[in-house]
Amino acid sequence: LDSAVRNNLAASLRVESLAVAAPREPDRVYLNLENIKSPTDAAVIYVYVNLPAGAKPEDHPESFAGAVSLFGASKSTASDGTHGGNGISESLDITRIVDALHVTDALGPELTVQFVAGSPGAMDNVTIDRVSVYRQGD
């Protein structure tokens, strides 16, 4: 995470920024997954942010960013299709996770993202061209 952007985000999450005298929403943070390509549509990928190393995902619901269905991915992956092989893209709101990291003083310069297959083989031959974090706010 860019240090200036991280500082602006942290400032928007501070209690005094949310005070009654100057009420406003904290910045929103999104995890964007771009150009997800898959030969199958019948799969789900679970996405976790800052899951502790070696931890079982089901033991850490606070790290769960969301589920991504690959419905439509195979058609969008076909290079001769209407989408030209670009795949699908998804955006997950991770504001809750980033806020919790901020509150516990664990919001560092990096976020780790882990993809967990919803069923055995669900991640076979799945690619994600770009994973990025976007902040929406002042």
Could you report the per-residue pLDDT of 88-103, keeping only the tens digit for each? 999 999 999 999 999 8
pTM over 0.85: no
CB 15, CB 105: distance < 8 Å: no
Task: Please report which confidence band the pLDDT of residue 121 belongs to, taking 50, 70 and 90 as the band edges.
Answer: confident
Across all residues in the chain, what is the average pLDDT?
A: 87
Rounded Cα gap, residues 81 and 78, in angstroms: 5
Is the pLDDT score of 21 beyond 60? no
**Better-predicted residue by pLDDT, 63 or 108:** 63
Rounded Cα gap, residues 51 and 42, in angstroms: 25
